[in-house]
Amino acid sequence: MRFPVIPPINEDKRKEAADRQNLLTKPTGSMGRLEDLSIDIAGMTGIVAPELKKRSVFLMAADHGITREGVSPYPAEVTPQMVMNFLNHGAAVNVLTRQSHSDVVIVDIGVNYKFPDLPGLLSRKVAMGTENMLEGPAMSHEQAEKALQTGMDVLNEAADRGLELAATGEMGIGNTTSAAAITAVLCGRAPVEVTGRGTGLDDAGLVRKIAIIEEILKERKPDPDDPMDILCKIGGFEIAGMAGVTIAAASRKIPLVMDGLISTAAAALAAAFVPEVRNYLIAGHRSPENGHRFLLEKLGKYPLLQLDMRVGEGTGAALAFNLVDAANNILREMATFDSAGISNR
């Protein structure tokens, strides 16, 4: 599969942003990581302190065949029910995107349910959910490419309409199992190290989930050096779609804010396909899911927030949009020592 070329970071604009930070009426470095964030965004966009008014969370929804093995306390029927909740503006991500003045782009990329034509729902279904990866590969090579391309297409359509800031979110019962398996392979960790409780498994359920992931990896043997092999054998359609969104955002010089474990697993796959993608990633938050910190370490990203959020949907990324605004607003609006008539000696 051919992926787009990722442009290099604009080092001149990074330097311009860094130089301006040192002129503002504050001790050097005193705004901490907000300063670093504003400098990174200048390099990504080629603009010092852009307003980034047009922003969206790309929420990919799909089902997983592995749910038949009891890896989640919730039934697969919750996936389409939650999609309806998103469309009715009743979910956590709807609240937080309203607060951050952003849109939610809701994509049915593989829900095991036939939705009618609904306003606000993009129907880009690859299949009615993945196969049970305990019994065989989650998807075919053709399906994986279609899901990746779908994510790239959705992002590019939005970019053509002026998108300036993006985030990825997801909905899919069973997808923490897929994400944990992907994390184990990409990070070289044992399933017990990277597997969490997902939507609230009890102790016995967690033990069972870990054992199932161990068996999946033993049977499927995904190649850690081949992201397409990983995706086909243990991935999800929404994970592939988010990876496509991530790659296309980088190709359009659009900063991409990652959400939690599943969003970051998708970004790590995207970076495995196209390493330069890393330059356009922002870690919105760190979730309490065990594998998330290993993925962030692999990508070399430090989270903006750590609030023990694990609902998914893009909620942590939407919340982090406010910090992106804060970083850019400080750089744009704060007085310099010269303009304020303050001595900096």
- The type of residue at 60 is M
- The type of residue at 279 is N
Torsion sign over Cα 242, 248, 251, 257: negative
Q: How far is residue 319's CA from residue 161's CA, in Å, rounded to a whole number?
A: 23
Percent of the chain that is helix, strand, coil (3-state, to 5): 50, 10, 40
> Cα Rg for the chain, rounded, in angstroms?
20
Residue for token digits 């399933």?
Answer: 191
In three state form, how does the secondary structure of 187-207 look? HCCCHHHHCCCCCCCCHHHHH
> Catalytic residue numbers?
313
Q: How far is residue 97's CA from residue 118's CA, in Å, rounded to a whole number?
A: 20
